[in-house]
Amino acid sequence: MTIHDPLDMHQYRIEKLPKRDKGPVEKWLAVSGPFLALAAFVLLAFVIKVPFLQSIQPTSIIDVEAREVLEKIGLERFIRNNEFMLAIFFASIILWMTQAIPNYLTSLLVIIGLVLTGVLSEKNAYAQLGHPVMWLNIMSFVLASMLVTTGLAKRFALWLILRFGKNASVIFLSFMVINLILSAFISATTAKAAILLPIFMVIAAIYGAEGGKGRNNFGRSIVLQNLLNINLGASAFMTGSGANLLAAALIGGAIGKNVFFADWSAAMMPVVLCQMMMGYVLAMRVFFPLAPAERLAQIEGGMDRLRQEYAKLNRMSGTEIKSAIIFVAILGLWATDSLHGISPTAVAFVGAIVALIPRYGIVQWNDVDIPWHLMLFSAGAYTLGAGLDATDLPAISVNAFFDHLGIGDSTHFWVLYLMLTGLMTFSALPFQSKTMRAMIFVPLAIGVAKRFGFEIVSLALPVAFMIEHVYVLPFNSKPAALLYETDHYSLGDTFKFGFAMMLISWVSIILAGETWFRFLGITPNGVFGLF
């Protein structure tokens, strides 16, 4: 990465980051991906007869929508749809993992594939672009653009760094706070990464981290800790990402009442704070300890450049004040949703409308940065989820798995808890879409809870809490892919730190299930009873 002025914040914008060259393994995966995906589709759709699909019986279908489909098209066609669904599912996973083609193009192939094979009707397949969570994402990007355009996000981040960033250690803690606060307002992790990237890249340069051959532990730590905290912060709030909201909607539909913003945050905020602190200790003491020289600014007057950037913002403008008022109002309405019942999407809608009002608003439509390739990618994931619902493939697979292992209905709750939370957590390694994982593993947890007679929330909600752990490998999430382009760390760096944090986070959710979640009434024998 060629840097003309390492302290020029504007050169670290997303569109100016150079595309990193793929390594030998990545190149091989990209070349072989289409052939592997095609082979998987052909084998599963036309050659291999999967035994548990061939033995489907009408009485084994749990999902109401799938049961209606079965009654309409008959058992033989229903089994054929499941075969096509399984084939499309594995082919899409291969394409998303290998990044052989752009992820939005894979999503488009998924959508049309489900239509042409008859798994979904055109109406149901195309309608996923209008999913409520899609609209929340769009409105969130409008609101995030408002933060960027007015400079409010930059002002807040710079103020916090300049006010409290007196030394290297405190700088890392300051970014922890910044990520947590931004997560309460912005439900797009990519938008948070875009806002913070220029700031922590300049600070990395101040401390002598240049990327590439100029890597040091300060640069590794500040980029990887921000990647971690961008995602952990999202898991603290139901509105932290569209995948969280989707999971909450799935659970709410299964239990017949809403999962509220306040309930989610009450459960996860203490857990997230512990996870963030563990990430800080692990990075600073174990994986990327700072040498004495790395704790000192290497560019003389570097922090003065940040002060100059902050001074350019001048006094807080009227538009910034209005932006702050809108965001505080949105957060207030989200936090009190159990009182008024207005959905987070509707709240974000109103906020975006106010921000876009001509003359009196804050941002113009042309200033709004909506990454439509991400929207198409999400639409494909939702369509895949709709296909899984229509075929009931997750529940059929779960029943076949438990029957094959001979696991009886008397299985202990904590065995299922460990298995399901672990499955959700470590599924982030091969998957690229949080939305798709939510659509697969949350219904899976709901089905397991029903099969074994446990409260749906006790298994499904802890599984949903693990959606955001997508920071181990560059293809696991958009922020991971984006920050990998900074060239401040290697694939080995992100794997060893990320995998360690993934394991620690799984242990923390197990401990929370035995203690804090039990107190709140999420897991059995609770005393508080949020649910």
Answer yes or no: are the C-beta atoms of 461 and 259 closer than 8 Å.
yes
Q: Provide the pLDDT for residue 96.
A: 76
H-helix segments, 282-343 = 302-312, 318-335, 337-340
Q: Provide the pLDDT for residue 459.
A: 94
Q: Provide the pLDDT for residue 417.
A: 94
Between 446 and 185, the more confident residue is 446
pLDDT, tens digit, 9 for 90 and up, residues 29-77: 788 989 999 999 999 999 999 888 888 888 777 667 788 888 889 999 9
Between 430 and 505, the more confident residue is 505
Tokens of 102: 């752009």
Answer yes or no: are the C-beta atoms of 153 and 414 closer than 8 Å.
no
Is the confidence at residue 252, as pLDDT, over 80?
yes
Is the confidence at residue 316, as pLDDT, over 90?
no
Tokens of 236: 């603290």
* Main-chain phi, psi angles of 86, to 5 degrees: -65, -40
pLDDT, tens digit, 9 for 90 and up, residues 111-130: 999 999 999 999 989 988 88
Q: How far is CA 271 from CA 222, 237, 497, 501, 520, in A?
A: 22, 12, 19, 13, 13
Compute the CA torsion angle 411, 416, 418, 423 (nearest 10 deg): 140
pLDDT, tens digit, 9 for 90 and up, residues 409-445: 677 888 899 999 999 999 888 776 787 788 778 888 8
In terms of Cα–Cα distance, which of 523, 526, 520 is closest to 421? 523
In terms of Cα–Cα distance, which of 416, 255, 239 is closest to 330? 239
> At 462, is the pLDDT very low, low, confident or very high (cuts 50, 70, 90)?
very high
The lowest-confidence range among 39-53, 225-239, 241-255 is 241-255
Is the confidence at residue 529, as pLDDT, over 60?
no
User: 27-43 burial by CB neighbour count: b if 16+ within 10 A, else e?
Assistant: eebeeebeebbeebbee
Q: Provide the pLDDT for residue 40.
A: 94
In terms of Cα–Cα distance, which of 251, 262, 273, 232 is closest to 464? 251
Q: Tell me the one-letter amino acid at 6.
A: P
In terms of Cα–Cα distance, which of 154, 148, 177, 153 is closest to 165? 177
Is the confidence at residue 493, as pLDDT, over 80?
yes
* Main-chain phi, psi angles of 80, to 5 degrees: -65, -40
Which residue has 């999420």 as its token pair? 522
Q: How far is CA 386 from CA 65, 250, 267, in A?
A: 10, 12, 29
Answer yes or no: are the C-beta atoms of 139 and 344 closer than 8 Å.
no
> At 530, is the pLDDT very low, low, confident or very high (cuts 50, 70, 90)?
low
The lowest-confidence range among 320-324, 359-363, 371-375, 385-389 is 371-375
Distance CA 279, CA 102 (A): 31
Q: Provide the pLDDT for residue 425.
A: 94
Answer yes or no: are the C-beta atoms of 267 and 465 closer than 8 Å.
yes
Tokens of 209: 């981290």
**Contact partners, residue 356, CB within 8 Å, separation at least 6:** 142, 363, 364, 365, 368
Answer yes or no: are the C-beta atoms of 225 and 175 closer than 8 Å.
yes
Is the confidence at residue 369, as pLDDT, over 80?
no
Answer yes or no: are the C-beta atoms of 226 and 483 closer than 8 Å.
yes
> At 6, is the pLDDT very low, low, confident or very high (cuts 50, 70, 90)?
very low
Tokens of 423: 């499955």
CB-side exposure of 358: number of CA atoms within 13 Å?
A: 0
Q: Provide the pLDDT for residue 110.
A: 92
% residues pLDDT > 70 (the chain): 89
Return the number of other C-beta atoms located less than 10 Å from residue 308's C-beta: 11
Q: How far is CA 14 from CA 115, 143, 193, 194, 301, in A?
A: 35, 18, 9, 7, 26
Sequence-distant contacts of 17-20: CB under 8 A, at least 24 apart? 17/482, 17/485, 17/486, 18/485, 19/485, 20/484, 20/485, 20/487
Q: Provide the pLDDT for residue 458.
A: 93
Distance CA 235, CA 281 (A): 20
> At 507, is the pLDDT very low, low, confident or very high (cuts 50, 70, 90)?
very high
Between 26 and 279, the more confident residue is 279
Mean pLDDT of the 312-339 span: 81
Rg of the chain on CA atoms, in Å: 23
Which residue has 């997560």 as its token pair? 183
Tokens of 324: 């702050």
Three-state DSSP state, 528? coil
